[in-house]
Structure 1
Amino acid sequence: MKRLSFVLVAAALVLAVASVTTASAAEPEPIRIYIDEYAEGQVMSHVAKSVIESEYDVPVELKTVSVGPAFLGVAKDDRSLFLVAWLPRTHGDYMDRVGKDVDNLGELFDGARLGWAVPAYVPQDQLSSIADMKKPEVQEKLGGTIQGISAGAGLMQVSKETIDGYGLDDDYRLITASSAAMTAALKRAIDNREWIAVTAWSPHWMWERFDLRYLDDPEGLLGGREHVDAIASKGLAKSEPDVHAMLKRMHYSLDQINTMLVNAEATSYKEAAQIFIDEHPEVIAEWTGKSATH
């Protein structure tokens, strides 16, 4: 009897282990979405995560890295995405390096722009273009600094090239900081009605919060109008064809992006993403290929 009980217990354990193993085998590997400091990338990644998990029952993890590792990660991984590839100028160098190893899923939104911005109260007759920054009186009022963001950002790379191109390298220092530190420095300067020049981009909530203007860039070194694309690992189309097809249909208007960013600044990226999903069922239905009442 004891031997029978032992056999039964052992058999039950084997079945339990087999059940767990089967369940684990059925659970798909998560799709990794790389995110960086770009606010629009953060909120779009949260939207994608929620839609993929709810509509396709595939787990998604968000991994924060700088831009370079994001491009390299997508090129090397089997199941990953990066939803904020600024092209053709800002991230062009990264795309040139890994383009053959990634799948460009197409444009997420159009009308993006990079530049240097100043508060609107800075007189335009004194500072209207980057070329004006050569003036000694302008350099003095700006404190010889340009407030930047993280070192690995594409905007910082083109800003360094712009400093060289306009001959500002002896007079100005590009300050490296987080995006949050940049906007905090901008707010302090505006509160005190001080001059400040910041590395800026659109879309961003700061354009809704503050009265700013871009400096003219007569040499065109900061680039022109850009589009923001999604890139995926080459293997994703095969391993998750439905998710891949949905991502190729994913597209936003610039107004939708701006609204999400304002909501994110007031709440969080995750909450702003959920607000967008709740308020735009027809958009989600279009992406997923379902009717809005499905």
Structure 2
Amino acid sequence: MKTRTLTKLGGILAASALALTACGASNSGGEEAGGGDETKASDKDWSACKPGDDSKDVADISDDKKEVSLGIFNGWDESYATTYLIKNVLEEDGYKVKTDELDAGPMFTGVAKGDIDFFTDGWLPLTHESYIEKYGDDLVDHGCWYDNAKLTIAVNEDSPAKTIEDLKTMGDEYDNTLYGIDAGAGLTKTTKEKAIPEYGLDNLEFKISSTPAMLAQLKKSTDADENVAVTLWRPHWAYDAFPVRDLKDPKNAMGDAERVYSFSGKDAAEEHPYVSQLLQNLVLDDDHLASLENLMFSEDNYNGKDHEKAVAKWLKENPDFVDQWKKGELAK
């Protein structure tokens, strides 16, 4: 996993017990992030958006201006995946697409000021809350495209544990070890301070190392058909690359799932109704997203070195995706 793990997962740590309301999407392909003139973006509850809300066919929508800039969050795999999906489709439609890779702060600033047109990786209601408080009233919300961004503890598919609590009595089946990632990651902190004490997992050695080391162990164990338990998160390509599944978390120790939203500046939304609606229509479930990221980032595939070829290959393997996307049918 890229360096975004340390930043983003720390934000997800406290994602729990959040009230639910509808997400701010409109039939025009987006609305001001606060949901209109009466609601400030910082006052809006972002936690109940359904991916693909207000989807519709883009056949009768067009942009006069066919030059557009798309922002990518440095090191965030799903940001590259969605951006290069959109880039592929727009270029097929005759657009000239520019991409900019930035950290979260400069990205929100740039889009709010109109220096960048669109980005697809706003994590809400928690991770990017502070940026929404600062810049949200200058942004347009184009809906969420994913609703299962969360921290997990995962095991190999055919192993005996079904819940995190099972590891307390089944530790021997997993060599009494839980493999973690970087010491400074929010995922590590959540596991250490929440999951382990709440489920009484003191019988396990929590082996903290790095994301590559955890993935290497996951590969080694699953290749050898051995039981293994690791800390993981969604979205991640490991769910496609390896036979793994999440343990149920009845105490919600790992926190609630977040939504991932697309945003633009106000001028970009007005100038690009076609792109806005295309983003409104976008829906990626866990299977689609994991398989796309696996092609793009795993060592067995493109290893992060040719996003355009990886996306083109994925679209060839999913031949109906673009047609359904443009018709607004991905949410069905």
Normalized against structure 2, the TM-score is what?
A: 0.57
Gaps of 5+ in 1: 1-26
User: Which amino acid in structure 2 is aligned with residue 116 of structure 1?
Assistant: I
Offset of 1:69 from its aligned partner?
6.1
The one-character-per-residue Cα deviations of 1:186-207 (angstroms, maximum 9, x if unpaired) are 2134345666432323454433
More helix by share: 1
2:142 partner SS: strand
Q: Report what 2:132 is aligned to.
A: 98
Across the two proteins, how many residue pairs are aligned to each other? 251
The one-character-per-residue Cα deviations of 1:147-185 (angstroms, maximum 9, x if unpaired) are 22695xxxx42552342124549886574634x554223
Offset of 1:217 from its aligned partner?
1.6
Q: Report what 1:236 is aligned to.
A: 268
User: Which amino acid in structure 1 is aligned with residue 90 of structure 2?
Assistant: I
Query: Which of the residues 192, 198, 220 maps onto 1:163?
Result: 192
Query: Which of the residues 37, 41, 58 maps onto 2:79?
Result: 41
CA distance in 2, matches of 1:150, 1:40: 23
Cα 1:197–1:41, aligned 2, differ >3 Å: closer, same or farther? farther
Q: What is the root-mean-square deviation in Å for CA atoms of aligned residues?
A: 4.3
Q: Report what 1:57 is aligned to.
A: 95
Offset of 1:29 from its aligned partner?
7.5
1:59 partner SS: strand
Offset of 1:73 from its aligned partner?
5.6
CA distance in 2, matches of 1:181, 1:73: 35
CA distance in 2, matches of 1:108, 1:83: 9
CA contact (8 A) 1:159 1:222 kept: no
Q: Report what 2:255 is aligned to.
A: 223
CA distance in 2, matches of 1:233, 1:211: 41
Aligned residue runs from structure 1 range 169-188, under 5 A: 175=208, 177-178=210-211, 180-188=212-220
Q: Report what 1:212 is aligned to.
A: 244
CA distance in 1, matches of 2:282, 2:132: 22
Q: Report what 1:130 is aligned to.
A: 164
Q: Which 10-residue stretch deviates more, 276-285 or 37-46?
A: 276-285
CA distance in 1, matches of 2:310, 2:240: 16
Cα 1:60–1:280, aligned 2, differ >3 Å: closer, same or farther? farther
Cα 1:176–1:251, aligned 2, differ >3 Å: closer, same or farther? same
Offset of 1:116 from its aligned partner?
1.1
Larger radius of gyration: 1
The one-character-per-residue Cα deviations of 1:69-100 (angstroms, maximum 9, x if unpaired) are 65566456631443234444xxx231354252
Q: Report what 1:84 is aligned to.
A: 121
Structure 2 residue 177 is the aligned partner of structure 1 residue 147 = no
CA distance in 2, matches of 1:174, 1:73: 40
User: Which amino acid in structure 2 is aligned with residue 59 of structure 1?
Assistant: V
CA contact (8 A) 1:260 1:273 kept: yes
User: Which amino acid in structure 1 is aligned with residue 142 of structure 2?
Assistant: L
2:311 partner SS: helix
Q: Report what 1:7 is aligned to.
A: none
The one-character-per-residue Cα deviations of 1:200-219 (angstroms, maximum 9, x if unpaired) are 23454433432323223222
Offset of 1:33 from its aligned partner?
1.9
Cα 1:129–1:288, aligned 2, differ >3 Å: closer, same or farther? closer
Q: Which 10-residue stretch deviates more, 46-55 or 132-141?
A: 132-141
Q: Report what 1:22 is aligned to.
A: none
CA contact (8 A) 1:147 1:176 kept: yes
The one-character-per-residue Cα deviations of 1:211-258 (angstroms, maximum 9, x if unpaired) are 323223222132345543223344421444432233223334554434
Offset of 1:281 from its aligned partner?
6.7
Q: Report what 2:155 is aligned to.
A: 118
1:232 partner SS: strand
Normalized against structure 1, the TM-score is what?
A: 0.63
Q: Which 10-residue stretch deviates more, 47-56 or 271-280?
A: 271-280
Gaps of 5+ in 2: 1-64
